[in-house]
Structures are given as C-alpha cells and as structure tokens.
Amino acid sequence: MNPQIHSPEVLAALIVHEDEDLLVTNKPPGWNTHSPSPWAGEGLYEWLKNREPRWESLAIIHRLDKETSGILLFTKTSLANQSLTEQFTCRSTRKQYLFVTDRPVLFEEKSVETDIHRIGDKYATRPLRLGSNDAHTRFRKVGPHPAGTLLEAIPLTGRTHQIRVQAAHIGIPILGDTLYGGSPAHRLHLHAGSLHCKHPGSAEELVFSAPPRFAESSADEIRRAIINPRSTDAFCIRHGLADVIPGLYLEKFADQLLCKTASPPSQNELEIIRAIATGTRSQCVWHKLLDRHIRGKPGAQVSPQRLYGVESDGPVQIRENGVQFEIRFNEGYSVGLFLDQRDNRRHVATNYVGPDFLIRESGLAGASALNLFAYTCGFSVCAAIAGAHTTSVDLSKKYLEWGRRNFQHNQLNPDHHDFLFGDAFDWVKRFAKKGRVFDLVIADPPTFSQSKDRGTFKIERELPELVSATSSVVAPGGVLFLSTNAAGIGPEKFDSIVRATLAQIGRPVLQSQYRAQPPDFPITRAEPAHLKTLWLRLGP
C-alpha cells in the first residue's frame, strides 16, 4: 500500500484548534507571523497556506512579534474574517500574555498608560497627549519563576511592541529582550498565553490557551511545531548562525545524527553535539567536513566519518511525510536525501503548491513527470505516489539504482517507470527532437558537476541554458520546477534570469510561486537563504 500523505496533517504542537471558520495555532518563538519580504523564508502564515488546501484561504487577524510565542489565530472564511476583525477593532477580545523578568518586581498589580512612538528600529514611551498613540497595559505579578519572576500582561490596546516597551518603562524588561534593556537569554521570555473571543458563527464565548515553554530553545520549538514524528523522522536540528551556533549544522536521520563543520569540530562543538545527540536519542553520530573541492577525491575520503555510537547494519531507513527513503553514510559526500527539499517533495506528492496552484488540475494520476539530475529519485518517488509516470535522469548509475530501491521501499514497482543514465541536457534534446513533453519537469541541478561528454557544468554560468532546455519539454499548461543552492545566485537574480530567459524564448509564465528552504533551515541576515526555488506554470 502506498504512503498516505493526503489526509489532514497532525501537527499537535502547533495546532490548538481548528473548525470550519478558525485555525488557532501555538506559534513558536523565532518564526515570523508572515514573511517580511517576497524573497525571505515563509512565515507561519505562508507555510500553513502553502501546506494544506484546507488552509489556502487563511487570513491574518492579529500578529505576534517574531520572537514571541503563543496563541495566534487565523480565519478561514470571509464571515469569520469580518467577525474577528470587528472584535479586535472594537477591543471585545481579551489577550493575556505571560513573561519573565529577572529584575525586582515591587508591585502586585500595575496599570500603565503611555504614548508609544517609533525611534529607528525600536519603540519608546512618552506621556500621553492629545492625538497620541494611546497604549494601555495591565501588569500583574503571578509568582516566582526559576529565571526570575513570572508576570501577566493584559494589553487593552494593540500597539507594536507594546508589552515589551511598557515593561521596560516600569523597570521590569523582559528576560531575553536585549532590544529594550532585558538581560540576555536563549529566547525572549514572552508568550501569548490565551485569547478570549466569540465564535464568528455561533457567537459562543471561546478561550484558546497554551502554556509557555520558556525552558525550550527557539530552535527546538520550531522543529517541534512543524515536524510530525509519526510521519517524519529526518529534519534539520541546528542550522549554523540562524540557530546561534556559527559554523555548526546538524541533521537527524531516524536514530542517526549528522553534524557538518568546515573544520574538525572543536571541544565546545563536540559538547553541543553530544548534548543534542543525547536529547534526540541518537544511536550514532557522524561528522562531515564541508568541502567545496571534492571532485576527484575517493568516496571514502569525502564520506561522513563516525564520531561515536553504533552503526546500523546496512542502510538507514527514514520517513519523510510518510514516504520511506534509504540513507547511506558511507557512499560519498551526500547521504541520499537533501532535507531542505522536504516541503517541495510534499508539494509533488500532494499535487498542491499553494493557493489556487495545483500542479495538475485533474491530479497527477496518469500525468508524466521528468526528474532531471534525479540523484536518488526522491522527487520521482513522490510523483509516482501521486500517480504519475516518472522518468528519472542522472549521470550516476549507482544513484539511479538507489532510486529504484527507494521506489521499492514505498511499494512502487520501478519497472513501471523509466530510469535513464546520462547527461540531462542530452536527454532533453532527444525528448525535444521527438516532440515529447511532460506535465511536470523537475530540475534541481548540482551547483557544479563534471560530465565526460559535456565537460564542466556550473549553474551560475549555465542557468539560462538550463531554463531554455527544460522549458522546451514542458507541456503547454505544464509546470516547471527549478531549484538551486548556488551561493552566487541570490533569490532576485535567480528569479530575474529565469523569467528573462523564458520571455526571450517566448514561453509565457501563467502562474508562479517562489520558495526558499523550510523553517527547520531558518533564514537570517547572518545565515541567508541557500535554497532558491521557482514553481512555474508555462503557457504554449
């Protein structure tokens, strides 16, 4: 029986409540409510809308700061949107926040009413005056906390950074809020604990709540929110500076932990690795040196090396969105699956890219999918699960055989699909010459590769040729998936080159979606997006 990933996803740590009108979430800290720009990673709002068709009509009613956790409500219908907007505008909703301060709290209850105005990248208070931005918060001491004192804040207005600014104003800055004078901590200790509102349909009084988890790191909370352990046991655990660990990257594959650094891990890094391995119950820990110059080196030299623990007998079997894949730590530089493509593989398997964007309106059953640079055929497996006939092309016979095994791991007969050895450009030329086109063409090329016939391939140089070649075998109305992790091509440049090439060859773009890597690979200024992806529906 094929994997079932079409049923509603169970994300128990993220979804607090859902009905026909409302979706209530427990937002983890360190994740934007919505994306700050078209080229940034998805905020919680975009991630939800692009994940499930039942969430495609979500609307934002209120927001939480990126570093604030807690109850965040979205509406799913126009009726709910109108009702909740009116409730927030009329201030008939009631929000309760909890926070920790490590400063002395010399009151039991306190009401603070000030003006709040912006100064550069932050906000400040000043006395109220006619026409000013009234900000009113009630503070109450709840009791002691291991890190200081726990307090409740009830905002009676909804100004940006209101609780943070006014807590600092009265001398109790929030722990972790260094922007407003708080002591450094592993996270901002501010949590939206509960929300009182009326149901837009029944007018029933509702209370949604979630307890804070201040002891947990933002990194762990994000992974806990988005990963359903029943269906996925392979994901990124730490992503360098984005998770405040410069130069250290950790990925979990079932009960195996892979750490990646540019040089042998330091003593401090080894301690971090050991602590995370213990916390994640990893049976074996592997280390891979990040090396851009692996061409010509033997596989044993560039493969991950075991740091400690017990190796599995044979390949490691992992689950991703219910799909089974085979992982090997001793077969070369890569282990068999690029985890940053997890959400994109899900889009293929579910035929759903985002709101009003199905890969094929009638579903992928009976469709044709071409996977170029197929590697171990992860995208092909997902397309086949959705019912497509797949053609996988790769320069390595070893990886194509690996791909055939991945089909078998998912009760798919590889003999019903095509596995073609050779250069992707050569095969595309053959298909184009024969007039063969595909409903879905997937091109996720390596940044650099070497072919006996073609020579050196560098994506930065050959992106226009790649776009021209791949688009030539996309059926009218079909979808072209293009992806790269080349550091020399930023998101805007990637999009610009692709669109300019398509315009030059006369293939109109009917529909498009840009995506970066999933949330377990966080994007920050210090750790910019490495994965750039375009989904494009092409006209004739």
Query: Positive or negative, the Cα torsion across 483, 318, 248, 67?
Result: positive
Pairwise CA distance, residues 439 & 476, whole Å: 8
Name every residue whose Cβ is closer than 8 Å to that of residue 34 and which is 6 or more positions away in sequence.
43, 44, 45, 46, 60, 63
Q: For residues 113 and 128, is the Cβ–Cβ distance under 8 A?
A: yes
Nearest CA-CA partner of 510 in 404, 384, 357: 357
Q: Phi and psi at residue 115, in whole multiples of 5°? A: -90, 150
Contact 11, 226 (CB under 8 A): yes
Sign, CA torsion 522/528/530/532: positive
By the 10 Å C-beta count (0-12 exposed, 13-18 middle, 19+ buried), 123 is classed as: buried
Asked if 325 and 409 touch (Cβ cutoff 8 Å), the reply is: yes
Q: What letter does residue 292 receive in the DSSP assignment?
A: S
Q: Alpha-carbon distance 540 to 474, whole Å?
A: 9
CA dihedral 81→83→89→91, nearest 10 degrees, is -130
Joined together, the tokens standing for residue 419 give 């596995």
Q: What's the CA angle centered on 379, arms 378 and 381, to 5 degrees?
A: 65
Contact 180, 164 (CB under 8 A): yes
* Spatial contact of 388 and 367, defined as CB atoms under 8 Å apart: yes
Distance (Å, whole) CA 71 – CA 210: 7
CB 4 within 8 A of CB 39: no
Q: Is 65 a catalytic residue?
A: yes
Q: Which of 65, 340, 394, 444 is catalytic?
A: 65
- Phi–psi pair at 449, nearest 5 degrees: -155, 165
Please tell me whether residue 226 adopts helix, strand or coil conformation: helix
- What is the length of the chain? 540
- Residue 518, SS3? coil
Query: Rounded to a whole number, what is the distance in angstroms from the first to the last CA of the chain?
Result: 37
Cα–Cα distance between 314 and 246 in angstroms, integer? 33
Pick from 494, 491, 524, 500: nearest CA to 38: 491
Separation CA 357–CA 514 (nearest Å): 12
Which residues are known catalytic residues?
Answer: 65
